């Protein structure tokens, strides 16, 4: 799938290697459940090297300063990762859900905030438009977003409507000449809502009400671009608990004239588009929790060997062994669940909500629990930023809220189990 991608990357330039033949190296490795093909192995190896050489060294600084590393982000476009699931016809890599999971797991093992901005762009905008837009829209918007020339996101949540998505108040009214929709309202907690803290990002998929009720047919999706008159940055959200190097903002729409050509799908058809994209969103959010847990296990395992107390390594004590062993077992259980669902997900399908909710619910709580154990194992060192786990612990909390709260997953899963239990169980 990714052969074109690998041929175009200059590894010696990116990583200062004199020679680096990725395809030859990975052929010697064993394909397994988490790397189903040689292409998946090659992708993981590439991201691991990128993380080691580029992402790790900037994570603490950019999160401390609450700044988005836009230059590093655009390097992902050189890899073909910003449009990883989009068709090659539109500048994407045409990869599958497992590939998307691999990227999110590996990036989040170093900098979940950086990965969250990647998710908002590659999944919430690019994949969403790739699956739900028409040919003309894809030709117009996907090449520049797949390359990283433009950076986008998705606008759904509002100051007064999160989980209750049908309760949104942002409206879209057809103009008298029937050539535009007029958008009014505001959106809150928008990842990539700003890139510099002063202006909006470049392009967004915006959900708004075109009907007057709370039905599934009352929502429509629109493409809104930076500098459209009336579209502005309300505020950059400061001092977040975690994910600080990912910009979060309120966006305001005041009589924004959106051309009718910018309607994605059909008028009143956005709920299906939303639910289809929520499935891959929740799966890659679960993959982010895997990355957090994996790095935390690595850190506490290494620390338990190096740290001495009472004349021996603290890893020789049962309390520390319990923390590490249980963390690894829970991580592997979550990882197996995530990759199993990803391997069976068709990106253009709908109806996979039970396990999309399930993997995120299970992995998010696991990731936070493992990060908490890592801090405890490291003691005072775990409480400061130098050892990473403090930041990963703060970042992990968002994954129990964003993309669906734990409570929303409970509700959705029980509803689906009641409805389909004979087919499922």
Query: Which residues are designated catalytic?
Result: 281
- Residue 203 CA to residue 141 CA, distance in Å, equals 9
- Residue 397 burial by CB count (10 A; 0-12/13-18/19+): exposed, middle or buried? middle
Give dist(CA 112, CA 97) in Å, integer: 19
Structure-block tokens of residue 71: 């230059």
Gap between the Cα atoms of 296 and 324, Å rounded: 9
What distance in Å separates the CA atoms of residue 334 and residue 168, rounded to the nearest whole number?
33
Distance of CA 257 to the CA centre of its chain: 29
Q: What is the rounded distance in angstroms from the CA atom of residue 408 to the CA atom of residue 352?
A: 15
- Residues 284 and 145: their CA atoms lie apart, in Å, by 19
Tokens, residue 61:
């600084």
The helix or strand, by DSSP H or E, that contains position 284, with its residue range, turns out to be: helix 270-306
Pairing of strands 171-174, 180-191: antiparallel
């Amino acid at each position: 799938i990714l052969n074109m991608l690998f041929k175009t990357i200059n590894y010696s330039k990116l990583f200062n290697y004199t020679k680096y033949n990725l395809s030859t190296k990975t052929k010697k490795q064993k394909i397994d459940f988490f790397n189903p093909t040689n292409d998946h192995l090659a992708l993981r190896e590439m991201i691991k090297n990128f993380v080691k050489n580029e992402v790790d060294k900037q994570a603490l600084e950019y999160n401390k300063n609450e700044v988005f590393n836009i230059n590093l982000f655009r390097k992902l476009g050189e890899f073909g990762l910003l449009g990883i699931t989009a068709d090659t016809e539109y500048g994407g890599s045409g990869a599958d859900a497992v590939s998307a999971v691999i990227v999110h797991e590996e990036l989040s093992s170093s900098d979940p905030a950086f990965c969250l901005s990647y998710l908002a762009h590659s999944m919430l905008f690019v994949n969403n438009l790739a699956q739900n837009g028409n040919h003309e829209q894809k030709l117009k918007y996907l090449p520049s977003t797949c390359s990283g020339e433009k950076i986008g996101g998705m606008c759904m949540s509002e100051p007064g409507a999160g989980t209750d998505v049908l309760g949104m108040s942002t409206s879209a009214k057809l103009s008298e000449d029937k050539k535009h929709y007029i958008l009014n309202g505001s959106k809150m907690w928008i990842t990539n809502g700003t890139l510099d803290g002063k202006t909006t990002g470049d392009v967004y998929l915006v959900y708004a009400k075109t009907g007057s009720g709370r039905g599934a047919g009352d929502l429509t999706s629109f493409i809104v671009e930076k500098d459209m008159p009336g579209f502005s940055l309300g505020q950059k959200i400061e001092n977040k608990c975690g994910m600080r190097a990912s910009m979060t903002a309120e966006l305001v729409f005041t009589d924004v004239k959106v051309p009718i050509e910018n309607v994605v799908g059909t008028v009143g058809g956005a709920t299906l588009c939303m639910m289809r994209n929520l499935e891959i969103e929740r799966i890659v959010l679960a993959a982010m929790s895997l990355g957090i847990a994996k790095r935390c296990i690595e850190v506490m395992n290494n620390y338990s060997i190096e740290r001495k107390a009472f004349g021996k390594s603290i890893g020789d004590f049962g309390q520390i062994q319990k923390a590490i062993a249980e963390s690894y077992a829970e991580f592997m259980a979550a990882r197996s669940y995530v990759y199993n669902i990803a391997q069976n997900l068709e990106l253009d399908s709908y109806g996979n909500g039970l396990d999309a909710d399930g993997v995120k619910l299970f992995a998010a709580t696991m990731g936070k629990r493992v990060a908490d154990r890592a801090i405890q194992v490291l003691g005072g060192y775990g409480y400061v930023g130098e050892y990473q786990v403090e930041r990963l612990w703060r970042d992990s909390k968002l994954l129990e809220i964003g993309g669906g709260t734990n409570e929303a997953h409970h509700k959705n899963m029980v509803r689906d189990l009641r409805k389909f239990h004979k087919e499922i169980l």
